[in-house]
Each structure stands twice: as structure tokens, then as C-alpha cells.
Structure 1
Amino acid sequence: MKYSSLLLLLLCSVFSPLYSQKYTGDSWSKVKSKGSGTLTIVYYDQAGLIQNVNGKMKGVCVDILSDFAEYVKTKHGANLTLNYAGQEQEFSSFLKIAQTTPNILGVTNTSITEERKKIMKFSPPYMTTQLVLLTNQQAPTLAKLEDLSKTFNGFTAEVITGSTHVKYVDKIKKQYYPTLNVVYATSSESVIKHLTSNAKVFSILDFTEYVGVVRKKLPVKRHDIDLGNAEELGFIMAKQTDWDEVWNEFLTTDYRKSVRYKKIIADNLGSTFLNLVR
């Protein structure tokens, strides 16, 4: 037992620096004063938003980040290198790393909430998106939430651990389906995989996650149900960072109204999504 603990301590000491080095970046104050530096990015794969496609980063967030680097160059005269340092497979791990690692940027479809603001910083919203209710193509169509327990009798709800969807499913369970069985997944990929293979599962996901379903022509359908207010999505940072200062300068309402921004949405999500993803 003594030797096992010693070995574990030794392994941690060896791998911990390697892990931390993977997610090490410059502060904004350093970049601004030196005139150059690196913005390190950790991301959680999301179709249309941020993906590594044949070795090249693509998506709405990638294009916005490129515009951000250009803004830093033009406005502040600093050369900013964007370092896509790593992809996290689990959403909860992604959140934790971005929350606890100074001077890195967490990029995916993270909803901005008051609860999360207590433990991390957000950029201004880069997009507003609706929540959608999804099932297998073979599932009966849900007309309204009041019919949930009848239409989806015997169904299981599956949601992503750490997501805002957990609270929402808990709310509709309490209000419409007290006996509903709820299970938790580590990623949207896992949820969608189960939706494609099980006609007795439903989930609530961001509209942006539905984009991947449409593109892959998966046997998953969206139910025309009003799930309430849209959610604002933002990039996330640790409380210790100062990068929020320049993000507040760049990511303005005017930018999101620009022709350039609309082109980014159309190019990455398709023109038909322009009126649904704002």
C-alpha cells in the first residue's frame, strides 16, 4: 500500500506538468504589453460550431475566433496566435478545465447562466439558440408538454451531465411526468447515438446540436414543442483571467448584426438556420 501510494505520487508528478502544459496560455495583459502572444483554446466538439475536420478547425466559433485575432491586431497592434490545444470528450470535464485553468478559453455551445457566472467568466453571447426536444424517428409525435406522460409513456429521458438541460428535464418531470426515468450521459454524441437506436428515449438539446443530426440524416426527429426562452451561448474562462476585457470590446451587438457575422452563420450552419439561430 505504501509503495502503491508512492508510485501514484510519482506518476502524478510526471504527468501533471504535461497536462498543465497542454492548457497553458498567455494573459491578455501580457499579449498587449509584448505585442504578441497565444490564446490557448480547449473545446468540446459541436457540429457547425467547432470541429476538427481532416486536421483543420472549422465552425462558427472558429470563424469568430479568427475575427477576434484580426480585431486584436487592428485595434491593439498585437499578433495573436490561436492555439487549439485540445478537445475534451466529456462536457463536464470541459467545463471544469475551463473554469480552473487561467488564461485559456473554453469553446463550445455553453449556455450563459447566473449560476455559472458565480464560478467562471463568460464572453458576451456569440449566439442565441433554442432548446429542442428530440426522439427516434419511430416515436409518436408529441403535440404539447401536457401530453408528455401519455404520448411518451414508458420513455426514458436522457440528458448531458453538467448541462442546463438537467434542470429543464427535472422541471418538466415534476410538472408533467412525475414517474419519468431520467438517465445521464457524458456527451451529446452519446445521447444522439441512443436516440438513433432506441424509440423509447427522448432528450432536450440545444438547437445547434440538432444541426449535426440533420447533416448526418440520422433517424431522429424534432418535436414542434415550445420549450420556453432561448439560451445565450458564450465562451468561458476562469475567474482569474483578464481576457474578458478584450472580448467585451470585440463581441458586441453590432458585430452580431454585421453582414460578416450572418455569413459565418450561413456558411457553417446553412442559410435555413439563420432565422432559428440568432
Structure 2
Amino acid sequence: MPFAQSFCSAIPTLRLRAVLAFAAVAGACAAQAVEDPARAAGRGAAVTEVVAGDPPGPLAAKSFRQAREDGRARIIFFYVPSSGFAYRDREGNLTGVTVELLRDFASSVADTHGIQVEVAWVEEPRWADFYGYVRDSEGGVFGIGNVTITEARRAELDFSPPYLNNIAVLVTNEQVPELASMEEIGEAFAGLTALPYPGTLHEARLNAIRERWLPGIPIRPVASNDELVSRLASEAGYFGYIDVYNYWRARQAGQPLRRHPVGDDSSETFGVILPHGSDWTPVLREFFQAEGGYARSARFQELLRRHLGDELASLLSGG
């Protein structure tokens, strides 16, 4: 079997550090890479895009120092598909709040530093794999999966400044009566099954509830937010934590869910992630802090309204 074919279609998902530069990865995957015309208009000619095939795992791309010396760079954007944040529109183009944020960053790199940039988008629907791939990569690799900024994660990843607030909400089927206080959960949720999303803070929250109020209750891990919402909506036998925007969209779509506000956790902020110690981190920070702050800019507020709607945009941005 030719190397390119075997590399792109049958790479094992082992967590091994990449030993090839991303240019070599891209060359092997060239037959599967598809030019994405998504945002040719309105962008400088110095920025081009491709959509890569299946992620082979952690990748290695040029450092910022190398990119400046060479005058060109291929940077890798891993993303977790998420409605409103990283999704395909009706024409099949990749878009969303965080997708456009990274496009703006790529344009800033080209314009500010005179670097010819090629962006490679890599989809990874499994959040834990996405997180590990970015963590174990090298150089110009970035990740958007609405990752909550925590001190524990800072020990193994770099973060951008926060771009959005988050509220984690405790959710059941609407048939379950609303909790008046968390102290009642031991009785009210007895017999329910917890739905942890592995690798996330939502899993940690459910573990804390189990340890304090519901020891020994059954758990059923889920692989995605869509699966979590589907199970919660299917019957009254489950409970779990989801981000407020996922709850909001599920309710807008008519899903029979109930939020229990006494379980809300509004202490989170989201950031773009990079490999720990990446020399691209100061460049990303510079982009976020320019001209009064990207997250406060009219451009970013417009992206929030366009992709999330006015009410949800206001809730998440603290406006």
C-alpha cells in the first residue's frame, strides 16, 4: 500500500508525539485535502485554506520563529464541531464564532508579520482526543473546542486570553421536577443515571455530585454533546451537565429538557488552546489584546450575534 494512502486512511490513534513536520503530513494527505473556498473574499491573498482529512493524532508545525525566517507557514487549526461555533453552513462552508475568530487571527499574522499563511482545518469530534492532540503537538497548532481555562490545564497547555463566558447547567428531562436546592438532589435524583462527558469539567461536576449526594449511582459516559442531549430528551432517567448554549439551542429546537438553576456554575471562561510553551502563544495574545481587545471588538460582537442570536450572545458575552 502506498505511504500516503496508508498514512491518511489507516493511521492508528495512538498518543505518540509527531516526528514529522506538518509539511510532510500535508504532503502525504494531499490526495484527501480539499481546498476550502469558504472565505477567499475579504481576506488577504497571503492567507489560504485547506481542509485536511482524518486527524492522524498530534502534529508538528513550524514555530513562529521559523515562520518569520521563512516568510511562510502552514498553521493547523483543530476544531470540535459545535453548532454556532464551528459548523458547516447550508452551502457546506466551515464557519462559526470560533472558526471566524481563528480566520481573523490568521489574517492578522499575515498582515502584521508579513508571513504567507496557509491554514489547515482538522476536525475531531471526540473532545478528549481533540484536547490530547493539541496538547501533544508542536509549533503552530491551535485548538477550538470551547475549552474552559483552568489552572490544571495551564500546566499542560497554553491558552489565549478568554474570548467568552460560560455557564454550565444541570439538566434533566422536563418530566423531572425542578430542584429547589442542591441538598435535595440525593432524594430527587435517586434512581437516575449520570451522563458524564469524559475529559470535561462537566464530568468532574457529576463526580462531585456522586461523591457528596448520590454515591453509587450508575453512570453512562457519552461521546458528544449531541448524544448527551438526545439521551436527556429521550426519557426521565438521566441527568447531566451541558454548556448553556447547548441547552439553549436544544430548547429552541423543541427538546423536552429542564434546567435546574440551583446547579448552575457560571465561573468559567473559554480560550483557544496551544501546545505548552508554544512561541505562537505571544502572537495569539498580541492579536487578542490589539485595539482594545478582540473579545470586546465590534467585529467579535457581530460574530456572536450572527451565529448565536442576540439573546444568547448577550448572555455569554456578559453584555
TM-score for both structures, normalised by structure 2: 0.75
Of 127, 131, 136 in structure 2, the residue corresponding to residue 91 of structure 1 is 127
Aligned 8 A contact 2:63 2:280 in 1: yes
Aligned to 1:121: 158
Structure 1 250/261 Cα, relative in aligned 2: closer, same or farther at 3 Å?
A: same
Q: Could you tell me how far 1:58 is from its partner in structure 2?
A: 1.4
Of 119, 140, 146 in structure 2, the residue corresponding to residue 82 of structure 1 is 119
Query: 2 CA distance for matches of 1:21 and 1:108?
Result: 16
Q: Which has the higher helix share?
A: 1
In the alignment, structure 1 residue 222 sits paired with structure 2 residue 259: yes
Structure 1 246/21 Cα, relative in aligned 2: closer, same or farther at 3 Å?
A: same
Aligned to 2:188: 151
Deviations 1:76-95 (A, max 9, x none): 222323221x2212111111
Aligned 8 A contact 1:165 1:204 in 2: yes
Show structure 1 runs of 5+ residues with no match.
Answer: 1-10
SS of the residue 1:55 aligns to? coil
Q: What amino acid is the match of 2:175?
A: Q
Q: Could you tell me how far 1:22 is from its partner in structure 2?
A: 9.2
Q: Could you tell me how far 1:272 is from its partner in structure 2?
A: 0.4
Structure 1 42/137 Cα, relative in aligned 2: closer, same or farther at 3 Å?
A: same
In the alignment, structure 1 residue 62 sits paired with structure 2 residue 99: yes
Query: 2 CA distance for matches of 1:112 and 1:231?
Result: 7
Aligned to 1:3: none
SS of the residue 1:143 aligns to? coil
Query: 2 CA distance for matches of 1:272 and 1:130?
Result: 14
Query: 2 CA distance for matches of 1:87 and 1:156?
Result: 30
Aligned to 1:4: none
SS of the residue 1:177 aligns to? coil
- Aligned-residue RMSD, C-alpha: 2.5
SS of the residue 1:159 aligns to? coil
Deviations 1:55-75 (A, max 9, x none): 311111012112212222332
Query: 2 CA distance for matches of 1:216 and 1:26?
Result: 42
Moved more, 172-181 or 247-256: 172-181
Aligned to 2:298: 259
Q: What amino acid is the match of 1:200?
A: G
Query: 1 CA distance for matches of 2:157 and 2:85?
Result: 21
SS of the residue 1:275 aligns to? helix
SS of the residue 1:81 aligns to? strand
SS of the residue 1:181 aligns to? coil
Moved more, 217-226 or 65-74: 217-226
Moved more, 145-154 or 28-37: 28-37
Corresponding residue pairs, total? 267
Q: Percent identity?
A: 26
Query: 2 CA distance for matches of 1:173 and 1:15?
Result: 38
TM-score for both structures, normalised by structure 1: 0.86
Aligned ranges for residues 1-278 of structure 1 at < 5 Å? 15=11, 20=56, 23-53=59-89, 54-84=91-121, 86-103=122-139, 104-239=141-276, 241-252=278-289, 254-278=293-317
Query: 1 CA distance for matches of 2:263 and 2:58?
Result: 41
Q: Could you tell me how far 1:179 is from its partner in structure 2?
A: 4.1
Aligned 8 A contact 2:58 2:132 in 1: no
SS of the residue 1:147 aligns to? helix
Aligned 8 A contact 2:144 2:272 in 1: yes
